[in-house]
Each structure stands twice: as C-alpha cells, then as structure tokens.
Structure 1
Amino acid sequence: MKAILVSKHGGPEVLEWRDHAISDPGAGEVRIRHEAVGLNFIDVYFRTGLYPAPNGLPLVPGNEGAGIVTAVGEGVTRFKEGDRIAYAGPIGAYAEERVIAAEKIVKVPDGIELDVAAGMMLKGMTAEYLLRRTHVVQPGDTILFHAAAGGVGLIAGQWAKALGATVIGTVGSAEKAELAAANGYDHVINYRTEDFVERVKDITGGKGVDVVYDSVGKDTFPGSLDCLRPRGLWASFGQSSGPIEPINIGILSQKGSLFATRPTLFTYIASREDLEASANALFDVVARGIVKIDINQRYKLAEAAQAHTDLEGRKTTGVTVLKP
C-alpha cells in the first residue's frame, strides 16, 4: 500500500507519498481500509518535530481517520470485517490502510458518513472534553474560543451555544468572522483589526469571561489571561502560532487568582469507557443536528504537503479531509 512518510523533520516538503509495508493484524488488532483521513494542526507538530514521534522516524503522520474493517486479529470480538469505524489516535493515519488496536476504534452510526466521521473525531471529541469536562459549560456562562473558524472552533461554537453559553470567538479575517457567526458565536472578534482583550471587556461589561479556550498559544498570551474574570480558567490546548515561553506561575495570582490547565484529548480518552462516552456524546449531537459538520476542504492524501501548506497559511476553515 501507499502512505505519507516523514523521514526528517521540516516543512510540508518532507511529506513523501511512498510504498509502505503493512502487516496482518495481531492479537487485539484490526486492519482497516481508510475512506478518509482528518487533517489537524497536531499533524504539523509531529512533522516539524515540535512533538516527538512515538516511535521515531520514519513517521506516518495523522491522528484521525475512518474506514472499513478488512481483517481482525486473535481475540477481537467487538468488531468484524465490514464494520464502519473511526478513531482519533494513535498516530499513523496518513495511509491507504493501517493496523490499529481494536481498543482505539469505535463503530460509526449508520446515519453518519465516513468522510464526516474521519474529519470530526479528533476535533469533535476535543470540543466534547473541553466543554463538558475541562470546564463544564453551564447556561449563563460566557466563554472565549480562539480560532473560532477552525475545525474545533466551529464544532465548539455550535455545541457551547446549545449548552446555553454566550459564545465569543476570535478569527483572522472577515470571511472567517461570517463563518463563525453562522456556527453559534454570539460575538466574533477579528484580531487583525481589533484588540481582542478590549473587545472582550466591552462585550462583558468589564467582567471578563468564565473560561478561555486557547489553541493559538504564543500570539494570544498573555492576552487570554486578561480576558478572564477573577478565578476564571485558561485552557491552553494547542499552540498553532508557536509555543508559549516559560512563565512565572505568579502571573495567575496577579491577574485574578486564575486557574490554568494544559489538557490533551488523548488523556481524556485514555480509557475505553472515556473513549466510548466521548464518541457517543459527539455522535449524539451530530445525529440530532445540534452540531453540523461541513467538510470545507478535500485533498488527495498524496497531496498532503499542499494541505499542510494551506493549513499553516490559515487558508483552511473547519473540517478538512484527505482522501486515499
């Protein structure tokens, strides 16, 4: 089969479409044929070496996909050949086929297309844990979500609005502002033309928000802290603009006895119970139309380098899938 391989860290040009061997599934594993693979910023982190590859180089990137089970290994009883499945993690999705632990995949309900599932698992379960577990969003809460027109942002905007929150988002263009406003955001701030801290203060009457969900990192710090009410929570779950420099924890007391966390999806879905609960919550809101998943970009998997170029250039919005 063919896969995208990274033999050295670097820019999008290190993504190579090459022949790659695949084995039969071992005990507790299944082999799957991908229908589609999701594109996420974490793929960039692994490509550049910001995040270390679990098994070193060469590396097959990708943490999200959906497809059909084509073979099952010894001891696998939860899945059979022909099952429609999806997953978020472990790494290795940029391939026509792969072998994966059965404990890491979930069945996709009949009413959800595999292309949609491929592009929503990592992003949708990220929105789930952020909104329902990192900070339990309640009716009356006011939240700020950076990168509101991104894959996680568009899902989170719809979901948070359904939970009864006032939802504020930041974006980098007028077009992205329109997209965010159509996906649950009550207030959208274009950070290229407005000071997002001042706008948040205006919107909240100086009170600040209950929680800031921040996947941007360097460019939004420490501004994110200045948007919080006293004892508010800063949830830093990504760093698309670059890593944040080491900080003196005293800044949290200076800015209002703030809480801070650096969560990851893979901790929140580490157990089978948590994985199924998160996936089922996502499937439920999508099936009921509370959250709509639009695939805004499609690329051939062989063209992953162009997809990465567009992602890093902030040319993509919402969900993007790569097609083998």
Structure 2
Amino acid sequence: MKALYFKNFGTSAVLEYGELPEPVLQADEVLVKTEYIGLNFADIYRRKGEYHIENNKPYINGYEGVGKIVKVGSGVGQFNIGREVLFVDVPFANAEYVAVPRDNIIHLPQGISSQLAVSVGLQGLTADFLAHDLSKPNEGDQVFITGISGGVGQILAQMLISEGISVYGSASTKAKKKLALSFGVKEVFPSREKGWSDKLAGKFDVVYDGVGKTLNQNISFLKNRGKVIFFGMAGGTPPQVDLIDLLAHSKSILTGDLWDYLINFEERQQRSQRLFSYFLNEKIAISEPTIFSLADGKKAHDYLEEGKNIGKVLLKP
C-alpha cells in the first residue's frame, strides 16, 4: 500500500511517500480503505518527536480518517463490508489501508458525507466534549474562544451560539475574523496585535484556550468564579500559573482528554450522533476543507504549521 511515513523526527523534510506492507488484521479489527485522512496539529508534534507516536519502523503518522470497510476480522461480527465509517483515534492513518478496532468505529448517519464527517470528526467531538462535559455554560453567558476560526473553534462557537450563549474570540487574519463573524460571533479580536486584551479583563464566564501560551491572558479575561477550559497547545507550551491569584478570585482551570470520554463503541456512537445532529439540523456549517494528496504530505504539514488554513486540512490517498 502507499503511505506517508518518516524514519527520524524533524521538520517536514523527513516525510517520505512510498510503498509499505498492508496492515495484518487482528480478530477484533476491520480493514478500512481510506478516502480522506485528517491532518491535525498533534501530527506535527509527533513528527517533531514532541508527542507520543506508536512505535513502528518506519513511523506512520495520523490518527483520523474515513473510508469503507473492505475486510473484517474473525471476531468482529456484524460489520458490513462496503460500509462507510469514521475513526478519530486509530494510529497509522496516513496510509491507503488502516486496521481499525471494532470499538473505534463510528457509523455515519444518512445525510453526512464522508468529507464532512472527517472534517468535523476529531474537532467536532472535541468541541462537543468541551461544551457538554468540561464547561457547561448557561444560556446568556458570555464566552471567549482563542483561535475561533480553527477546526475546534468554528464548531464550538456555533454549538454555543445555537444554545443561546454570546460568543467572542480572537483570530490571526481578517479572513478568519470575517468567517467567525459570519457564524454570529459578537466580536473577534486580532490575535497578532496588542492593546485590546486589557479591555476584556473580567468580562467572560468561560474562556476556551487551545493555544497554550495565551493561558495567563485568558485567566485575566474571566469574571470571578469564571473558568478557563484549557485543551491544547497550538501556540506553544503554556506559562506557569499563579494558583494563589486563582484562589483569590475563585477562578478555575479545567482540562481533560477526549479519550477519557470516548471509552467504548456505544460512547462513540452517542457522542458522534449528537455532533452530527447539529449539521443535519443546519445549526452548524463549516468552511470547505483544504485537501492535499497524501503524496504531498510535506506541503500539507507546512500549510498547517504556518497557520494558512481556515478549518480542516485533509489528505487524500
């Protein structure tokens, strides 16, 4: 099979494209022929050696994709060959064929295309978990999303707006600001400029931070008794936090790992169907993904790492 792989950690220059052996199917797995593969910031960290990656020679990156079942293991049971499925947490995804454990399969409901499913899969389930498990804002609350036009930010903003919550955020370009405002976001601030953050001190009930280095700034945005939801480090490692100051103002930092919530097949189905319902009921729309050939994986990594994307970046075998 064709795959995108690397032998040593480093810049995108380490990436190679070529023939590797097809995965050997275990009894509890199905073999998926991938149609699209999601590219995420975590894949960049893995390529650099800064994030856990499954031990394999050579390394095959990627954990998210969509495609059709072409073979089933002896212990899988009723999984129809030819059925289109999504997975969001299965290693070695940067390949034409991926062995997916039965419990990691997500069924696509009628009306959800494969391209939409993989464009919203990981980021959408993350947004759902942030909104419904970690933060639980109330109707009428004011929230701020750092990096609001990214994959998680786009979905999270619309999810919250549909539930009566006032949403603000920051974005790095005018195009990204325009996109967020089109969703009904109240105001978008320029993340690469200074001078506006002091005006937001004490304004928000909840702040979502997937950037990392902005953590202290986002704590200052909170009202007393407010919560920062910390869920990523797209901009770098977060600074140290003054816990005494948090205590003095009854502010909280909440964090969590999506994989502690996607613990079995049933949990994945329940959460994914809730996510997909927002799209089927036209409460959420997303920008078109940017698609690269899997053979052009280096270009895709550079594009994402340089912050050129608005929304999802996909690889197509």
User: Shorter-chain TM-score: which interval?
Assistant: over 0.9
- The answer for the alignment partner of 2:212 in structure 1 is 217
C-alpha distance in 1, partners of 2:216/2:58? 36
Q: Secondary structure at the match of 1:281?
A: helix
C-alpha distance in 1, partners of 2:254/2:246? 11
C-alpha distance in 2, partners of 1:199/1:56? 49
- The answer for the alignment partner of 2:224 in structure 1 is 230
C-alpha distance in 2, partners of 1:246/1:194? 21
In the TM superposition, what is the alpha-carbon distance from 1:174 to its structure 2 partner? 1.2
Q: Secondary structure at the match of 1:307?
A: helix
- The answer for the alignment partner of 2:237 in structure 1 is 243
C-alpha distance in 2, partners of 1:312/1:68? 29
- The answer for the alignment partner of 1:20 in structure 2 is 20
Q: Secondary structure at the match of 2:304?
A: helix
- Deviation sequence 1:148-179 (CA, Å, 0-9, x none): 11111111111110011100110011111001
C-alpha distance in 1, partners of 2:304/2:212? 16
Do the aligned residues in 1 keep the contact of 2:292 with 2:300 (CA within 8 Å)? yes
In the TM superposition, what is the alpha-carbon distance from 1:248 to its structure 2 partner? 4.7
Q: Secondary structure at the match of 1:298?
A: strand
C-alpha distance in 2, partners of 1:251/1:51? 31
Task: Find out whether 1:93 has 2:93 as its counterpart.
Answer: yes
Gapped regions of structure 2 (runs ≥ 5): none
- The answer for the alignment partner of 1:204 in structure 2 is none
Residues 262 and 48 of structure 1, relative CA distance in 2, 3 Å threshold = farther
Letter in 1 for 2:14: V
C-alpha distance in 2, partners of 1:301/1:54? 20
In the TM superposition, what is the alpha-carbon distance from 1:198 to its structure 2 partner? 2.4
- The answer for the alignment partner of 1:36 in structure 2 is 36
Letter in 1 for 2:234: S
In the TM superposition, what is the alpha-carbon distance from 1:194 to its structure 2 partner? 4.4
C-alpha distance in 2, partners of 1:262/1:312? 24
Q: Secondary structure at the match of 1:222?
A: helix
C-alpha distance in 1, partners of 2:193/2:99? 47
TM-score by length of 1: 0.93
Q: Secondary structure at the match of 2:289?
A: strand
Task: Find out whether 1:265 has 2:258 as its counterpart.
Answer: yes
**1:27-176 → structure 2 map (5 Å cutoff):** 27-55=27-55, 58-176=58-176
C-alpha distance in 1, partners of 2:273/2:185? 24
Do the aligned residues in 2 keep the contact of 1:37 with 1:94 (CA within 8 Å)? yes
Gapped regions of structure 1 (runs ≥ 5): 202-206
C-alpha distance in 2, partners of 1:119/1:302? 19
TM-score by length of 2: 0.95
Residues 181 and 163 of structure 1, relative CA distance in 2, 3 Å threshold = same
- Deviation sequence 1:258-306 (CA, Å, 0-9, x none): 1112322222212333222211111111111111133231111111111
Of 285, 299, 316 in structure 2, the residue corresponding to residue 306 of structure 1 is 299
Residues 257 and 68 of structure 1, relative CA distance in 2, 3 Å threshold = same
* Count of residue correspondences: 317
C-alpha distance in 1, partners of 2:184/2:58? 41
Letter in 1 for 2:267: D
- Deviation sequence 1:13-47 (CA, Å, 0-9, x none): 12211211123422110000011011211111211
- Deviation sequence 1:53-97 (CA, Å, 0-9, x none): 133653211121100000010121242201110011122211111
